[in-house]
Structure formats: C-alpha cells, structure tokens
Amino acid sequence: MAAHEAGAEGRVTIAEIARQAGVSVPTVSRVVNGRSDVSPRTRARVEDLLRRHGYRKRSTASPSRAALIDLVFNDLGSPWAVEIVRGVEEAAHGAGVGTVVSAIRGRSGAAREWMRDLRARASDGVILVTSALEPVLHEKLRILGVPFVVVDPAGSPTLDVPTIGAANWSGGLAATGHLLALGHRRIGLIAGPPRLLCSRARLDGYRAALEGSGIAVDASLIVPGDFRPESGFAGCNALLDLPEPPTAVFAASDQMALGAIEALRRRGLRVPEDMSVVGFDDLPEVRWSAPPLTTVRQPLADMGKLAVRTVLRLTRGEQPDTPRVELGTDLVVRASTAVPPERG
C-alpha cells in the first residue's frame, strides 16, 4: 500500500492532502492550525481539499479525541527503555496524548508491520529511540508525512533529523575529573563501541580531563567494551592483568560498571577501598548496586519529555529551535569511589 492511500482507513492524512495540493506537509499543517503565514491562494486550495476529504484534525488540545504518538525501540530490553518510556508517557499523558510503545529489532518484517499499523492508527507523531534504525525508515516516515524525532542516548553521527541526546563529552570529563580530584593518577577506561558517537565523546572527555591535569594518556589503560555487563567484566579483568593496574576505572556505561564490580569481587578486591569505579547512565538499579555506584546521570526521562514536546510542535507545523539538542549530564557521587589505596 502506498503512503497516499492511508486515507483508505477512514482518515485522510495531511501527507495525502499535501500531495494533492502540490504543497509541503508543513504548509498543510499551517493551514490546519489556522496560521497566517500561508498565501491566500494556497490556503484556499488546501482548505477545499480538507473539506472534500472530510479531514478531521486530531488535535491534542481537544479533550474529545484521543491523539496518539508512537514510541519505537529497537529492543525494549535496552537498559534505557523504561526511563524513556516513563518520561514520554508522563509528558504525553499531560498533553492528552496516548503513547503506543513498539519494539522492532530482530523480528523479520517488524519495521514494515509497524509502519503499516502506524498508518492504520493514524498516529500523530513518532519518537524513535535507537541509533541503529535503518535510514530507510526515516525516509518512509518523511514520505508518510508523520513528524518524528530521535531520542538517541548513544549519539549517532550526523542524523539528518531532530535529535535529542545527552552531553557525553562533558560527562566523560566530569567522571574522570572526579577520580583525579580524589588523587587517582592511573585511571582505566572501559570504552563503548567506537562506531557510536557517544563512545567517542566520553573517551575524548576522559582524555581532556587527564590532559588538563598534566597526565599523559596511557593507551594500555583504555580497553574496549560494548556497553554490556559482560564486556565490563572482561575489560576490568584485562586492566587488572596489566603489570601496573589502574587504581580507578571509568566504565562508559552503568552496565559495564556492574560487570567491573563483579570482576573485582571475584578477585577478592573491594570497591572502593581497592579500586574506584565510575559508571555512565544512572540507571535506577545502580542506586542499590553493592556498593551504590558513582556515575554520570543521563536525564533519560527528561529526554523523553522533550521528545514529546518537540514532536507535538512538529505536528502543529512548527520547527524545533535547533535540530540537535544535548541535555546536560551530572555526576552523581555515591559509594563506589574513594581515594586511591596507596594514599588511603
């Protein structure tokens, strides 16, 4: 089924009106929303088509009609998922909008099925939470005329869409700076996947903090990881096997930090007495890791809320102020960091 047939489900879309009027989707949105920045002739043509098709505006302000947005994950098993769902649902509910949650990774045809269902339920906007989704999906959403934004805790390179991320470089700088301030001089890094921009940014923040303290970066103290606990476990073991192990480790995700803590526990080493550990994310569970984790907070729920506000602006034909937003990250100091053992 082609995009312009979406009206066959009983509701004509703005995209279809735009196609028939030979104007852009934002132009139709402006007419629908009664804005003045449309030429009288275009307005007349669009309004005529809207009437002929019996277009019903699914306004988010009207209490008698339920608007919907789609929130799409690659994988609901992602550690970020629940926090983002929480933020999106809260902001959407506040705007009288229902949140349809989907996951599409690893299921053959799932993206296609989701796109079909999206059309059928005439969803008003889409929030994609993923960095690995095919650009072809973006293109299809554009053709369909459904506004969308990407919430991207992983910070993908150069997405040509409105994107909401977190300040990863600043977070890496703060995590490493905290360890330096405690007196650590040999600080290991368990890095994230190099293909992700957030991994690069956190690594560069780590380097910048060391260099700012006049400490040369020792490449042997940087080990690879993939954000999962298993890779934190392996990375920490690799650091401990060095001739001169670090006294602290910055894991570029909370899950890798948990893996690192377990690696230390298995060797009979205590956190933070024998080794300090800092994570990145501030997932709910690290408040009660043993010990509670010092980490860099990504404001995942706030990112979700901002995504809702942005996508609702887009549905009104407005453009976001800036195509790429980074929300600030904060260091949260708990019990997994202390002065290094030789000074303790």
Q: Which residues bind its own copies (CB under 8 A)?
A: 1, 8-10, 56, 63-66, 68, 70, 76-77, 81-82, 85-86, 89-90, 93, 96, 98-103, 107, 110, 113-114, 116-121, 229, 255, 258-259, 261-262, 265, 283-285, 287-292
When the beta carbons of 102 and 213 are compared against its own copies, the nearer one is 102
When the beta carbons of 41 and 51 are compared against its own copies, the nearer one is 51
When the beta carbons of 66 and 132 are compared against its own copies, the nearer one is 66
Rounded least distance, CB 229 to its own copies, Å:
4
Rounded least distance, CB 165 to its own copies, Å:
22
When the beta carbons of 70 and 226 are compared against its own copies, the nearer one is 70
When the beta carbons of 89 and 326 are compared against its own copies, the nearer one is 89
| Phi, psi at 279, each rounded to 5° | -110, -165
Burial environment of residue 105 by CB neighbours within 10 A (0 to 12, 13 to 18, 19 or more): middle
Closest to 166 (Cα-Cα) out of 325, 334, 343: 325
Residue 72 three-state SS: strand
Give the side-chain half-sphere CA count within 13 A for 172.
24
Q: Which residues of 185-198 are buried (b: 16+ CB within 10 A; e: fewer)?
A: ebbbbbbbeeebbb
When the beta carbons of 15 and 21 are compared against its own copies, the nearer one is 15
Rounded least distance, CB 258 to its own copies, Å:
4
When the beta carbons of 8 and 44 are compared against its own copies, the nearer one is 8
- Residues forming beta bridges with residue 151, ordered by sequence position: 129, 164
Rounded least distance, CB 201 to its own copies, Å:
25
Closest to 132 (Cα-Cα) out of 114, 153, 113: 153
Rounded least distance, CB 50 to its own copies, Å:
16
Contact assessment for residue 327 and residue 167, using Cβ atoms and an 8 Å cutoff: yes
Rounded least distance, CB 103 to its own copies, Å:
6
Q: Give one DSSP letter per residue of 7-48, joined into a string.
A: GGGS---HHHHHHHHTS-HHHHHHHHTT-S-S-HHHHHHHHH
Rounded least distance, CB 67 to its own copies, Å:
9
Q: Which two tokens stand for residue 167?
A: 């300040």
When the beta carbons of 52 and 267 are compared against its own copies, the nearer one is 267
Contact assessment for residue 161 and residue 140, using Cβ atoms and an 8 Å cutoff: no
Contact assessment for residue 336 and residue 291, using Cβ atoms and an 8 Å cutoff: yes
Rounded least distance, CB 76 to its own copies, Å:
4
Q: Which two tokens stand for residue 106?
A: 């690893």
Rounded least distance, CB 236 to its own copies, Å:
12
- Residues forming beta bridges with residue 125, ordered by sequence position: 69
When the beta carbons of 80 and 169 are compared against its own copies, the nearer one is 80
Burial environment of residue 235 by CB neighbours within 10 A (0 to 12, 13 to 18, 19 or more): buried
